[in-house]
Chains A and B, each alone.
Chain A
Amino acid sequence: NAGVMQNPRHLVRRRGQEARLRCSPMKGHSHVYWYRQLPEEGLKFMVYLQKENIIDESGMPKERFSAEFPKEGPSILRIQQVVRGDSAAYFCASSPRDRPYYGYTFGSGTRLTVV
């Protein structure tokens, strides 16, 4: 069990390009959460997904950001027309729904740099 896998680890995009961040949850975990950490700041909740459903997207910016967790394959966080302010570390976490109180298992993150 390789844990939560995020790729790429580092991503550089020019302003206006699209960024796609992938997250494969731990085996047996059906709940995925995305968090963003801006430089010198804490973890900010973005979105909570289950397979084929967005449960809570209250932390997602209203424009340019979207997330999905398809029936097959990894969860994708997509940022369209990136701007410099999108530069941050994006962390994905997963949990097994039947044991929510074990907390989340985080991936190592994707560091997005917009140039």
Chain B
Amino acid sequence: DQQVKQNSPSLSVQEGRISILNCDYTNSMFDYFLWYKKYPAEGPTFLISISSIKDKNEDGRFTVFLNKSAKHLSLHIVPSQPGDSAVYFCAASALANDMRFGAGTRLTVKP
């Protein structure tokens, strides 16, 4: 069962513009959400997270928005840089248990 969905397998943006990556979930018990970034031949690395008690969390160029009523979260990267090109995974956790990941979105930032 796919409890976390990333419906866009790929996204291409121009350097300097905003990248918006989307994620939907079905399990209303999820209370913590994370974004991971993955380069080829490497393990995923933690990027940013948000608790269900918040609707926004910002860290530098990265902002995560959570809409609990819609069971939707998004990651905004602004301005986008070529080094941001990677696969981004959305993940969700219920009650601090193991995380479930989406299928990932491959972001390409063109110079």
CA distance A101 to B92 in the complex (A): 11
B74 proximal to A (CB < 8 A): no
Chain B residues in 8 Å Cβ range of A108: 41-43
B97 proximal to A (CB < 8 A): yes
Min CB–CB distance B29 → chain A (angstroms)? 14
Chain B residues in 8 Å Cβ range of A91: 43-44
Chain A residues in 8 Å Cβ range of B45: 106
Binary CB contact string for chain B from 88 to 111 against chain A (1 if under 8 A, 0 otherwise): 010101001111111110000000
- Which of A28-84 touch B at CB < 8 Å? 33, 35, 41-45, 48, 55-56
- Give chain A's interface residue range (CB within 8 Å of chain B): 20 to 34
- State the total of A-B contacts with C-beta under 8 angstroms: 56
A103 proximal to B (CB < 8 A): yes
- Give chain B's interface residue range (CB within 8 Å of chain A): 20 to 34
Residue of B41, B97, B104 touching A56 (CB-CB under 8 A): B97
CA distance A53 to B43 in the complex (A): 25
**CB <8 Å contact, B43 and A45:** no
B63 proximal to A (CB < 8 A): no
Residues of B within 8 A of A (CB): 6, 32, 34, 36, 41-46, 49, 51, 89, 91, 93, 96-104
Residues of A within 8 A of B (CB): 4, 6, 33, 35, 41-45, 48, 55-56, 91, 93, 100-109
Shortest 4 CB-CB contacts between residues of A and residues of B: A106-B43, A42-B103, A100-B96, A43-B101
